[in-house]
Amino acid sequence: MSVTVRFFAAARAAAGVNEISMESASAMQILDKAVALHPKLGQVLPQCSYLLNEVSLRDLSVVVTDGSTLDVLPPFAGG
């Protein structure tokens, strides 16, 4: 099993993919590995918010376990 990291809007554009699979680790470690794979994400992630299994995640030291989904959500323009 693994963790699914899904990218939306500007994060998807920066990553160049919709999602990636990563090994279980803290959310911060997973995001650091994602930036290593897709360096343009480094410009987007500081403005992003995150959902872990569809629940808002503010503490990036939380361990994301196998089978979980981590969503990367940049700010959205609304109207």
**Do 52 and 69 contact (CB within 8 A), yes or no?**
yes
pLDDT at 77: 62
Domain-located, residue 72: no
> Which domain does 39 fall in, by range?
3-59
Whether 54 is in a domain gets the answer: yes
Selection from 32, 7, 9 nearest residue 18 by Cα: 7
Judged against a pLDDT cut of 60, whether residue 79 lies above it is answered with: no
Read off the pLDDT band of 1 (50, 70, 90).
Answer: confident
Number of domains in the chain: 1
Backbone angles phi, psi at 29, to 5 degrees: -65, -40
Q: Please report whether residue 49 resides in a domain.
A: yes
CA distance 7 to 49: 11
The per-residue pLDDT for range 14-66, each reduced to its tens digit, is 999 999 999 999 999 999 999 999 999 999 999 999 999 999 999 999 999 99
Domain membership of residue 70 (yes or no) is no
In a domain, 15, yes or no: yes
Residue 25: inside a domain, yes or no?
A: yes
> Does the pLDDT at position 75 exceed 90?
no
